[in-house]
A = this chain, B = another copy of it.
Amino acid sequence: MSVHFPDGAQRPDAGIHCQTCSLSAICLPLALKMEDMDEFDAIIRRRAPLVRGETLCRQGDTFSQVFVVRTGSFKQVVLDEEGEEQITHFHLPGELMGLEGINENVQPGFLIALERSTVCEIPFHQLDALAERLPGLRNELYRSMSRHMGEDHHLIRLLNCKSADERLASFLLDLARRFQRNGHSPKNFRLPMSRTDIGNYLGLALETVSRMLGRLQQQSLIELKGRELHILQPEALYQFSESHPCLGHALNRQKG
C-alpha cells in the first residue's frame, strides 16, 4: 500500500491540501473547479494520524461533522443495549463516514482505526453552506449518500440469501471494487481487518470465515497468505458468489 502523503512532519495540516491530494479524483470535491476547491479546502480540518485501535468518534457523540478516510481504514461498530458489538461498515480511503448521523443528530456508532490512518474532518454546516453555492459539490454529496444506500442494499441481499462461502466471495469482491475505485489493483490487496472482524460483519464465526477462505483457496479462486490477498479468478469468484439460488422463499410470484 503506497503512502499517499509523505508527511515526515507529523503535524496536522502539514502542507496537505485537496488540490494535491491523490484522492481528489474520487473524493467529495471531485467536481469542483480549482478556485472552488480552495474554498472547500479551507473548511477541512486534518487530524493527526490515528494509530490502530484508536477511536475517531464515539457512538452517541453529537453529530457536527463528517469524515473522509485519507489513508488507512476504519470499522464502524454499533453497540446495542446488551453490549453486543456489531460491525456495520468498513471504510476505505476516499470514503465518507458519519452521514447517517444527520437524521438523529448523533453519531450512529464508533469509528475505530484498523491500522495507522489519517482522516479529513468536515464540519457539516460549513459543508452544507458550501454545497448551497456549489452544485457540483451538492451533487457529489447526494451521490455519496446514494452510493452508501446502494451498498447497504447489497449487503442486505447478501445477508438475506447467501451461505457462508458466498458471503465471503461477495465480501472480497466488494472490497476489490472499492480498492479499485481509489486506484489500487482490484486483484491484489491487503485485508485491513482481522478474521474476527470479518466474521462479525458477515454474521459468521471466525472459524467459519477461516474455513471458507480456505475453501475458496482450494478452488483456486483466490490466494491468501495472512491478510495478503490475490484474487486469481475474479470472474469465477463472482459466479460463485451468485451461484446458489436463494432459499425456497422469494419464488412464488404474486401480487401483494
Contact yes or no, B194 A254, CB < 8 A: yes
Chain B residues with Cβ under 8 A from A200's Cβ?
249-250
Asked if A149 CB lies within 8 Å of chain B CBs, one says yes
Which B residues are CB-close (under 8 A) to A145? 99, 102, 142, 145-146, 149
Given A103-B150, A157-B88, A255:B78 Cβ within 8 A: no
Chain B CB within 8 A of A216 CB: no
Nearest CB of chain B from residue A72's CB, rounded to whole Å: 10
Residues of B within 8 A of A75 (CB): 256
Residues of B close to A194: CB separation below 8 A: 254, 256
Cα distance A81–B246 when bound, in Å? 12
Report the minimum CB–CB distance from A49 to chain B (whole Å). Answer: 15
Question: How many A residues have CB within 8 A of the partner chain?
Answer: 72
Nearest CB of B to A152, in Å: 4
A100 in contact with B245 given A75-B256, A112-B256 (CB within 8 Å): no
A217 to B113, CA, bound (A): 45
A179 and B100 alpha carbons, distance in the complex (Å): 21
CA distance A245 to B82 in the complex (A): 8
The CA-CA distance from A196 to B248 in the complex, in Å, is 11
Per-residue 0/1 for A228-256: is the Cβ within 8 Å of any B Cβ (1 yes, 0 no)?
00000000000000100111111111111
- Assess the A86–B150 pair: CB atoms within 8 A: no
Closest to A86 in B: B157
Known: A150-B104, A156-B159. A204 touches B242 (CB 8 A): no
Contact A160–B86 (Cβ < 8 Å) = yes
Chain B positions within 8 Å of A102 at CB level: 142-143, 145-146
Please name the 10 residue pairs, one residue from A and one from B, whose CB atoms are nearest each other, closest first: A102-B146, A53-B255, A152-B152, A103-B146, A160-B203, A159-B159, A114-B256, A103-B147, A145-B145, A100-B149
Q: A103-B146, A108-B150, A145-B145 are in contact. List 19 more A-B contacts (CB 8 A).
A: A53-B256, A78-B157, A80-B242, A84-B246, A85-B250, A85-B251, A86-B246, A88-B153, A99-B145, A100-B149, A102-B142, A128-B138, A128-B139, A145-B149, A159-B159, A192-B256, A196-B249, A200-B249, A205-B248
